[in-house]
Amino acid sequence: MLTVFALHGGLEPDLLDEVSYWIEHYWTYALFAAVAIVRACAARSDTPLETFVANLATPHAIDLD
């Protein structure tokens, strides 16, 4: 799932030339893309970010405190 967000966020992996560089930074780029997607979804639904994230965490029993 993070791969989709990373690609949507602009990551263009060049597997032939920069595998070592790309793999080291992949999760960072994927996380930034996922954060951007969550923020955009919260804004689009006119839901405060804190509420949106809490609603995402609740079904998975994730405590955000």
**CB-CB contact of 8 with 1 (8 Å):** no
pLDDT of residue 42: 97
H helix intervals, 1-65: 2-8, 19-44, 49-57
Q: pLDDT band at residue 11, thresholds of 50, 70 and 90?
A: confident
Q: What is the tens place of the pLDDT at every residue in 39-59?
A: 999 999 999 999 999 999 999
Asked if the model's pLDDT at residue 27 lies above 80, the reply is yes
Q: Which residue has the tokens 């960072």?
A: 28
Task: With both helix axes pointing from N to C terminus, report the angle between 49-57 and 19-44 in degrees, rounded to the nearest 10.
Answer: 110
Residue among 28, 25, 30 nearest 5 (CA): 30
